[in-house]
Amino acid sequence: MDQNMLNEICLRQLTLSGVHEGETVAILSEGAERLDYADAFLYAARRLGAAAYHLRLPAPAGSSGAWAVGESGLAANPQAVEALKQADMLVDLKFLLFSKEQFAIQDAGTRILTAVEPAPLLARLMPTPELRERVEVGAELLSKASSMRITSPAGTDVTYRLGVYPTMSEYGYTDQPGRWDHWPAAFVFTGGADDGVDGTIVLSPGDVLLPFNTYVQAPVTFTIERGFITDIRGGLDAELLSSYIKSFDDPRGYGMSHVGWGLDERAHWHGLMQFPGGMGMELRSFYGNVMFSIGPNNELGGPNDTPCHFDIPMRGCSLFLDDEPVVVDGDVVVPEMRPAGRH
């Protein structure tokens, strides 16, 4: 993307994020990655009258390819962490999520926005206050629920006992102290009690496996008992999932993690065909997807910090909170969560 356009969308982002005169915006990048994004955010912060600086970490010694969940590159730089804690807002171009350092920076009151997806996607899924409102309606409903049941025509029937972990919202910008968000995003989630997820989940062709960044080709059946996956059955996709999880040699890799639904009608289910190398935020966000996750729940304050993590957005599911329908056959049925024109 042309630098002027990148400047423009980053200006819109920081405007939504409430950046103003007297604030300090820090931008964190690593190696040669996204230096054009860093320039655009510096421009945007300055346009809004904020002080700004760019903190650039060296490229990591060895690159693993898949997500290096929880490795921030900041562990060896405590002085950098201290500096970032002093900022009002941190723009993370490197992906700190799940790291101790990210939590410490948030705890100090710094709001954090992650931006690592391809620039054309950032532009197309530019957050809006209207989308935020609908996400917050969802978060409000979810935070009051004591159970979630998910069903599908393929045979999914799983129940999450709620009420232990907080509800999180992601709508693509952040204007509150200490709050994290990811651009682009439009979904809500929480986690079941550590021993409170039971039932069966059956993945159908077209459901999405992140971070494999692939679409399921053949059904996969998960058996879940007391919060852990006890059996994974099916064809090639099931074997790949099993083999991957097993390679971590960590029983917590079978834990049930966050669960929720997506609300952005502009996000495409086919998104991975367009941006195969991204983080998959478009897939987490597409309207009416029901996403469950496997692995760590430390993001929600839980004890599981395994690095083995899957996010699995599913199509065509129904989701009930305390037996009230929220998503039916992949369509959101709560009027306040539907975009204008879908009533």
* Residues of the shown chain interacting with Fe ion in the complex, contacts defined by CB under 5 A: 293, 311
Q: Which of residues 43 and 180 has its CB atom nearest to Fe ion in the complex? A: 180
Residues 6+ apart with CB under 8 A from 76: none
Nearer to Fe ion, 80 or 97 (CB): 97
> Do residues 169 and 206 touch, judged by C-beta distance below 8 A?
no
In the bound complex, what is the minimum distance in angstroms from residue 1's beta carbon to Fe ion?
Answer: 27
Question: CA 225, CA 51: separation in Å to the nearest integer?
Answer: 51
Using the minimum distance from each CB to Fe ion, give the nearer residue, 64 or 79: 64
Name the strand (E) or helix (H) holding 258.
strand 256-262
Cβ closest to Fe ion, residue 43 vs residue 269: 269
CB of 193 to Fe ion, least distance (A): 18
DSSP structure class, residue 339: P
- Report strand pairing: 324-328 vs 318-321: antiparallel
Measured CA to CA, the distance from residue 72 to residue 201 in angstroms comes to 32
Pick from 309, 275, 271, 268: nearest CA to 292: 309
Choose between 198 and 311: whose C-beta lies nearer to Fe ion.
311
Q: Fill in the amino acid letter for 122.
A: L
Nearest-approach distance from CB 67 to Fe ion, in angstroms: 9
Please state the closest distance from residue 318 (CB atom) to Fe ion, in A.
Answer: 22
Cβ 294 to Fe ion, closest distance in Å? 9
Return all residues near 4 (Cβ < 8 A) that are at least 6 apart.
Answer: none
Nearest residue to Fe ion by CB is 311
Separation between Cα atoms, residue 285 and residue 124, nearest integer Å? 13
Q: Which is nearer to Fe ion, 55 or 294 (CB)?
A: 294
Q: By 3-state DSSP, what share of the chain in percent is helix, strand and coil, each rounded to 5?
A: 30, 30, 45
CA dist list (Å): 34 to 123, 185, 221, 260? 15, 19, 39, 30
Residue 3 Cβ vs Fe ion, minimum distance, rounded to whole Å: 32
- Please say which residue, 118 or 307, places its beta carbon nearer to Fe ion: 307
Burial 251-277 (b: 16+ CB within 10 A, else e): ebbbbbbbbbbbbbbbbbbebbeebee
Nearer to Fe ion, 264 or 311 (CB): 311
In the complex, minimum distance from the CB of residue 195 to Fe ion, in angstroms, rounded to a whole number: 20
Name the CA dihedral angle for 253, 256, 260, 262, rounded to a multiple of 10 degrees.
30
Give min distance, CB of 295 to Fe ion, in A. Answer: 8
φ/ψ (deg, to 5) at 249: 50, 50
